[in-house]
Structure 1
């Protein structure tokens, strides 16, 4: 009986450690996702600006007939 209790105690301890590690990893991933989403928004804005500038330049080019 004592052996079964010790085994159960060890298994519960491992489960608690695994839970804590998973929770820590989840927090890190949540932070990383937030940073990447912010980076993505910045890059999308830069891309939109670049597209607008290119379109403005293209509108200024003369149209030539083939």
Structure 2
């Protein structure tokens, strides 16, 4: 997914993170901070696999926001 844009990249990333969120929800109760760290680590690994598509999209959105 190189050079993908906008909503497509976001949707693809959400689809890839979704199973991790389901697994995390089914785990026995953990301290909130631990669960958030686990989720952020999984999300970060998905972003690495997606060649930073979401990061590129977010930076474009923030630049547009700063211009307006």
Tell me the TM-score normalized by structure 1: 0.31
Q: Which has the higher contact order (CA 8 A, sep 6+)?
A: 2
Structure with a larger share of its residues in helix: 1
Between Structure 1 and Structure 2, whose CA radius of gyration is higher?
1
